[in-house]
Amino acid sequence: MATGGDNTVNSKHQNRLASERSPYLLQHATNPVDWRLYPWGEEAFEKARKEDKLIFLSVGYSTCHWCHVMERESFENEDIANVMNEHFVNIKVDREERPDVDKIYMTFVQATSGHGGWPMSVFLTPRLEPVMGGTYFPPEDHWHRPGFRSVLLRVAQQATSGGGGWPMSVWLTPELTPVFGGTYYPPVDRYYGQPGFKSLLGILSSQWKDNRQNFAESGKKSFEPQFGGFGMAPKFPQPVNFNFLFHIYSREPNSELGKKALDMCLYTLKMMAKGGIHDHVAQGFARYSTDERWHVPHFEKMLYDQAQLAVAYSAAYLATKDEFYADIVRDILLYVSRDLSDKSGGFYSAEDADSYPSHDAKSKKEGAFCVWNYDELQRLLDKPIEGSNFTISDIFCYHYDVKPQGNVNPNQDPHDELKYQNILIVLGSEEETAEKHGLDLATTRQALKEGREILFEVRQKRPRPHLDDKMLTAWNGLMISGFSKAGQALGDDSLVDRAIKAANFVKKYLYNPTAETLLRSCYKGSDGSVAQIAVPIAGFVDDYAFLIRGLLDLYEACFDPSWLEWAETLQDQQDRLFWDEEGAAYFTSPASDPSILIRLKEGEYPHDFNTFSVCCVVKIETFILAMVP
């Protein structure tokens, strides 16, 4: 990698991204690629217009495994960088800073290729119309997949042979479709009888609305009864589903539908907590599982997942009073408080999946920080359990399915990064482990607890994954909800106090009290202070929606009217900046940005802002009416 986990920049190459604060952009600040001065701005657009060149737009985020791979393989490659610099104007965007840019072009990539993901790689005209797009490309042709060098040269050749002039979509057409493996969509309804990109967005939006109306029924059909969750692998937590299903249960707890909704939630949450997607040693949840058993995670940990899962497990505890769910709530919030919290009160965005296996290793591996080999555990946990013939290792390895040859299915490890390694997973229960070894439950629990504590101390000495210390208003709003809901459910005022501290942080660093508007992000400075970029990014609709929701949940937890008043002020601003008077619902971005080709409305996990906003508007009005004498 070009940069270290501390987001510092070395001097081998210093392109224009060296002056940025986004951890993702700084990871590319020493690439030989001529990334333009602003990650998304007029300077780059004007250069493309003057030089009559296509724009190459690369979008990702700092904890993305395949973003790291493509940077290492292609963007650090001098020959590939020379091709990029000669034929294209290259723009790098952090999707977490600019979700509006990401959403527009990801919609295009998904529609034209049938799949999406990051890094996202899109070629644009100087008018910002997408003409071709994909995700990760290997550097060279491999296994019938075009390499990035080939893609660049073929797109550049097609651009040159097109005879100049715009739109390039006139000639940059189906000839390049095999390179990207999808269907060509021109920007407008003009060529080849295909619907244009704008029409396509309208079609997708309509389908999305229809699908939402059938969510309850489709949720039952997609539920996977063996291991829980919705759909097949890869499995994501999808906390939005839990919110909806818990709502059904709360409305009709005695109906068949209500009981089924609760059962689906509780079973899925329990299987996730027992699975490898849950970090049994250092707490928190990974972003998703690559297999159906919740065993082999994609190891990055995102703040928004911790926030929404804290709410879901709190709801599970309220519905059952089962301490199992309360323990998981505390587990999540311990991780966030310890590893994702800034001293000023804000919350960091994420921890990476990749890290160095040892302090003298030359390259990172996915999951290296979290996995264990059998011999290592035997040595670390070789402590006798008093009054028995067993060691902690015996109990621990049985309970967490640790095996001498490793417990990762080779099908889930195509690059052998997890060979002979173990990812902790609970297949049974503490009661079953105790019975198997002839121990009482208290002794078994103590042995497992001591084993986890020993491994935690060992892990703390390993090279840590990269921390994305960017602080986003939207995700901080979600985490305010997480602490508020948990504090209310568990009767723990200290958790509510942590939510208050975070809300005060947002008000101090991410809010303009004069304009009554929000900023998107702030950053951890090199001296540990809270820092901002030269031209701060204005807040998007999810910043308003998720912070408003957090403030309303905080008000319910502590009944301080100042949080309700601020939520009402922000709701007024959200309505002014994002509401569509003609078509209803909220746009993703304000109308004031000319670089946004189309203003979109639909939200997706974790950005289902229209659903959040409906709830917020109803709550605000309900609370205000309740205060009227």
SS (H, E, C) 477-513: HHHHHHHHHHHHHHCCHHHHHHHHHHHHHHHHHCEEC
For the stretch 500-544, pLDDT in tens is 999 999 999 999 999 999 999 999 998 999 999 988 999 999 999
Whether residue 227 lies inside any domain: the answer is no
Q: Is there a contact between 587 and 601 (Cβ–Cβ < 8 Å)?
A: yes
Q: What is residue 531's DSSP assignment?
A: E
User: Distance between CA 524 and CA 113 in Å, rounded?
Assistant: 37
Same domain, 392 and 412: yes
User: Distance between CA 611 and CA 289 in Å, rounded?
Assistant: 26
User: Distance between CA 515 and CA 517 in Å, rounded?
Assistant: 5
Give me the sheet containing 521-524, strands edge to edge. 471-472, 521-524, 530-531
Whether residue 349 lies inside any domain: the answer is no
Q: What is the pLDDT of residue 160?
A: 75
Whether residue 236 lies inside any domain: the answer is no
User: Distance between CA 70 and CA 452 in Å, rounded?
Assistant: 35
Residue 38 identity: Y
Same domain, 580 and 475: yes
User: Distance between CA 303 and CA 301 in Å, rounded?
Assistant: 7
User: Distance between CA 195 and CA 183 in Å, rounded?
Assistant: 11
Tokens of 619: 């709550």
Which of these, 483, 461, 460, 218, lies nearest to 346 by C-alpha position? Answer: 483
What contacts 542, CB < 8 A, 6 or more positions away?
99, 474, 588, 603, 607, 609
Residues facing residue 366 across a β-bridge: 354
Whether residue 282 lies inside any domain: the answer is no
Whether residue 344 lies inside any domain: the answer is no
Tokens of 18: 């060296």
User: Distance between CA 392 and CA 433 in Å, rounded?
Assistant: 12
Whether residue 186 lies inside any domain: the answer is no
With H, G, I as helix, E, B as strand and everything else as coil, classify residue 532. Answer: coil
Same domain, 556 and 619: yes
Report the CATH number that the domain containing residue 101 is assigned in CATH.
3.40.30.10
Tokens of 506: 């947002």
Q: What is the pLDDT of residue 218?
A: 63
Same domain, 491 and 454: no
Cis (ω within 30 of 0) for the bond into 167? Answer: yes
Which H or E element spans position 271?
helix 256-274
Same domain, 475 and 502: yes
With H, G, I as helix, E, B as strand and everything else as coil, classify residue 178. Answer: helix
Which of these, 480, 440, 488, lies nearest to 326 by C-alpha position? Answer: 488
Handedness of CA 332, 333, 336, 339 (dihedral sign): negative
Same domain, 479 and 619: yes
Same domain, 514 and 400: no
b/e map 545-568, b = 16+ CB within 10 Å: bbbbbbbbbbbbbbeeeebbebbb
Same domain, 503 and 619: yes
Whether residue 15 lies inside any domain: the answer is no
Q: Is there a contact between 395 and 385 (Cβ–Cβ < 8 Å)?
A: yes
Cis (ω within 30 of 0) for the bond into 99? Answer: no
Q: Is there a contact between 545 and 597 (Cβ–Cβ < 8 Å)?
A: no
Q: What is residue 139's DSSP assignment?
A: S
Whether residue 622 lies inside any domain: the answer is yes
User: Distance between CA 600 and CA 153 in Å, rounded?
Assistant: 32
Q: What is residue 343's DSSP assignment?
A: T
For 14, half-sphere exposure in the C-beta direction (CA atoms, 13 angstrom radius) is 7
Q: What is the pLDDT of residue 267?
A: 98
Among 399, 431, 461, residue at a domain's last position: 461
Cα distances from 504 to residues 239, 473, 515, 539, in angstroms, run 26, 12, 18, 17
Tokens of 404: 């001498």
- Identify the burial level of 187 via C-beta atoms within 10 angstroms of its C-beta, where 0-12 means exposed, 13-18 middle and 19 or more buried: buried
User: Distance between CA 482 and CA 467 in Å, rounded?
Assistant: 21
Q: Is there a contact between 335 and 286 (Cβ–Cβ < 8 Å)?
A: no
What contacts 514, CB < 8 A, 6 or more positions away?
none
Number of domains in the chain: 3
Q: What is the pLDDT of residue 212?
A: 39
For the stretch 314-325, pLDDT in tens is 999 999 999 999
First to last CA, the chain: 62
User: Distance between CA 302 and CA 291 in Å, rounded?
Assistant: 19
Angle at 28 between CA 355 and CA 305, to 5 degrees: 50
User: Distance between CA 613 and CA 559 in Å, rounded?
Assistant: 21
With H, G, I as helix, E, B as strand and everything else as coil, classify residue 610. Answer: helix
**Helix axes of 441-460 and 430-437: crossing angle, nearest 10 degrees:** 110
DSSP notation for 355-414 = E-SSTT-SS-EETTTT-B-HHHHHHHT--BPTTSS-BHHHHHHHHTT--TT-S--GGG-T
Domain boundaries, position 518: 469-627
Angle at 414 between CA 60 and CA 288, to 5 degrees: 50
Q: What is residue 35's DSSP assignment?
A: B
Q: What is the pTM of this model?
A: 0.88
Residue 256 identity: E
Handedness of CA 336, 242, 290, 380 (dihedral sign): positive
Dihedral over alpha carbons 41, 1, 301, 135 (to 10 degrees): 60
Report the CATH number that the domain containing residue 605 is assigned in CATH.
1.50.10.20
Same domain, 550 and 407: no
Among 428, 461, 494, residue at a domain's last position: 461
With H, G, I as helix, E, B as strand and everything else as coil, classify residue 519. Answer: strand
Among 398, 429, 461, residue at a domain's last position: 461
Same domain, 609 and 524: yes
Same domain, 457 and 484: no
User: Distance between CA 226 and CA 454 in Å, rounded?
Assistant: 33
Q: What is residue 74's DSSP assignment?
A: I
Same domain, 81 and 103: yes
Q: Is there a contact between 275 and 286 (Cβ–Cβ < 8 Å)?
A: no
The parts of the chain modelled with pLDDT lower than 50 are: 1-11, 163-198, 200-201, 203-213
